[in-house]
Chains A and B, each alone.
Chain A
Amino acid sequence: MSQSITSTLSPSLERFTALFTITQPKKLAASIVIPFIALLVFLLLWSAGASHIQTSLGVFPGPAKVWEQTLALWDEHQAARAKEHAFNERMQKRVEKAIAAGKPQEKIDRIRERSYTGPATFIDQIFTSLGTVATGFILASLIAIPLGILIGMNQTLYQAFNPIIQLLKPVSPLAWLPLVTMVVSAVYVSKDPMFSKSYITSAITVTLCCVWPTIINTAVGVSGVSKDLLNVSRVLRLGWFTKTMKIMLPSSIPMMFTGLRLSLSIGWMVLIAAEMLAQNPGLGKFVWDEFQNGSSNSLARIMVAVIAIGFIGFLLDRGMLLLQKQFSWDKSAVLR
């Protein structure tokens, strides 16, 4: 038993340290220098092209302006944090004063309840977006994986569900949004809601759009279990539960992860659109607000958001890829 633990630890440890060992300087140089040069060329082209595009909001922002706005957004975030900190300190002093003056308990509680009501900063919005996409994605996975397994195992269920899946799969989130908004407004009524309605609406829209790749890929993975392995389970007389847990599920994990990875990337794209319309205080809303604002800095700030969205999407995908490499036993699949 302990043998297998150390044997799974040491390869991971080896892989980790391998990331930091420079084995071939020439290859490393090539793999850094080439993308770097490409990036430089891209920035130059962008800068040159942008200066030629005149819009009603001013010249299209080049890399310099975008960088300027990145710093500005970060400063704004810091300033807002400082403000909030000061506010909380003031509130704390008021509470202490009230206790010392012997004011009634409910008044003290009411002072405590007052929270900082400044606008959400760019960084806050990033975290809101991440939270929303996580909620939507996890909800989608919880629905899609069991459903995919059932559909994959049963031909009748597959024939029943397949038309519906094919019909709903291509629907744009923007089409779902009004329906979801109305339903959430009607159903989600509470005096003290834990999540705002826009949050729920965005999360559900993400779920509706990103549930399909996982269902389909899981079903394909489960139904494509090798006949030989099924024969092994028959000779061993494995019970239905044992067969599912020990043969069908492990066999379909690579396909399942492919589906999850696709779902996450679709979910992230859908989220931005959903937030824009549902006004969930995330990156989508940021873009929309900047657009409505129409200041001379707006386009640059929107570009910052675009880069942030792209970069976060990239990180999310890499994260899923790491998980897939860890859990997927299919070494023959090329994972990139």
Chain B
Amino acid sequence: MNTYLDIDHVGITFPTDNGPLTVLDGVNIHMRKGEFVSLIGHSGCGKSTVLNIVAGLLQATEGGIILEGREVNDPGPDRAVVFQNHSLLPWLTVYDNVRLAIDQVFKKTKTREERHEWTLHNLELVHMSHAMDRKPDEISGGMKQRVGIARALAMEPRVLLMDEPFGALDSLTRTHMQDSLMEIQADLNNTVIMITHDVDEAVLLSDRIIMMTNGPSARVGEILDIDLPRPRDRLELAENPTYNHYRAEVVRFLHERHLDKDKDKGNEAPPSVAKKQQAEKEAQSEKEEIDQLRMIG
């Protein structure tokens, strides 16, 4: 396989007050160019941590990220991120939010007119041209997320990282956004890693689903190749047995993880369910705490 993005035996251990906490242990993912991969798993298993490490917002303590043959450590516009909370600057208009990213990335390579055109193009791509001059507090959640996607795409990233981009949206808006995303993906053929909790979304959008084990010391549990032809129509697929089979596979994986039937080899004897849930909770809150400290510092 021609590896474009290599998440190479990535592990990360945080020093906490209760001792070192290994959130990830030996996560190994190889991605081809133009591939759409979904990362799915239970809350607190470390999916966002993997994404943040690929984005360069966190540093892995073991292993590394290799993009097109070169290691990448720092955040940058070549690995654009779409955050769960849109993260638009509230004092800038929609146009200015996207333009800010474009000006930063293409300051030297595009002229002012070209950058203006490129902003308009990306806003059109997400169907937000009509709301160009509005501020974020004047548009809906779905629209804000579209602008976030436009901003990420405008940077012409080599890898697009999406952290539960549609998690905060209602069901109907989510379906529209998924359709838009598929449209864009057909057009641009980006390399995408998307974190999601929605099984339907994962099967519908991705080429591969990577299912992670529960934390701490999470790693890749199972990988599912989605062999459905594109373009994919959700109404057709609802009747498709292959689609339903894939869906069932993912649900089974998640359900089994939840019931703590540990399928991984080389794990120590699994603790009781209550203790494991406690550990998950602790891992999540400690991870958040450390994330905060790292972001500020």
Contacts and interface: CB of A to CB of B under 8 A. Distances in A.
A234 B75 contact: yes
A155 B135 CA distance: 32
A232 interface: yes
B89 A229 contact: yes
A231 B87 contact: yes
A247 B100 CA distance: 11
Q: Among the interface residues A226, A230, A236, A237, which one has the most CB atoms of the partner chain B within 10 A?
A: A236
Interface string B179-215: 0000000000000000000000000000000000000
Given A227-B296, A228-B83, A235 B77 contact: yes
Nearest to B157: A235
Contacts of A246: 89, 100
Contacts of B57: 231, 234-235
Q: Which 6 A-B pairs have the closest CB atoms?
A: A329-B91, A228-B87, A234-B75, A227-B295, A250-B91, A236-B104
Q: Among the interface residues B74, B85, B101, B104, which one has the most CB atoms of the partner chain A within 10 A?
A: B104
Given A235-B55, A237-B104, A227 B133 contact: no
12 contacts: A4-B93, A7-B133, A227-B295, A231-B87, A232-B83, A232-B89, A234-B56, A235-B57, A235-B75, A236-B155, A242-B104, A329-B91
B87 A229 contact: yes
Contacts of A75: none
A329 B90 contact: yes
B89 A235 contact: no
A102 to B, nearest CB: 68
Contacts of A56: none
A4 B295 CA distance: 34
B292 interface: yes
A12 to B, nearest CB: 15
B81 interface: yes
A231 B295 contact: yes
Q: Among the interface residues A155, A229, A235, A330, which one has the most CB atoms of the partner chain B within 10 A?
A: A235
Contacts of A242: 104
Contacts of B87: 226, 228-229, 231-232
Contacts, number: 66
Given A231-B295, A237-B76, A250 B89 contact: yes
Interface residues of A, number: 26
B105 interface: yes
A4 B77 contact: no
A250 B80 CA distance: 23
B90 A238 contact: no
Q: Among the interface residues A228, A232, A234, A242, which one has the most CB atoms of the partner chain B within 10 A?
A: A232
Contacts of A231: 57, 75, 81, 83, 87, 295
Interface in A120-141: none
B137 interface: yes
Interface string A86-116: 0000000000000000000000000000000
Nearest to B55: A235
B81 A329 contact: no
A14 to B, nearest CB: 15
A3 interface: yes
B137 A4 contact: no
A331 interface: yes
Nearest to B295: A227
Interface string A239-251: 0001000110011
Contacts of A228: 83, 85, 87
Contacts of B89: 229, 232, 246-247, 250-251
Nearest to B297: A155
Nearest to A329: B91
Interface string A13-37: 0000000000000000000000000
Given A227-B292, A235-B75, 9 more contacts: A227-B291, A229-B89, A234-B56, A235-B79, A235-B80, A237-B75, A238-B104, A250-B91, A253-B91
Nearest to B79: A235
A7 B131 CA distance: 12
A3 B57 CA distance: 37
A184 to B, nearest CB: 41
Nearest to A8: B133
A236 B101 contact: yes
A227 B57 CA distance: 11
Contacts of B105: 236
Nearest to A6: B133
A231 B295 CA distance: 7
A330 B137 CA distance: 9
Contacts of A331: 137
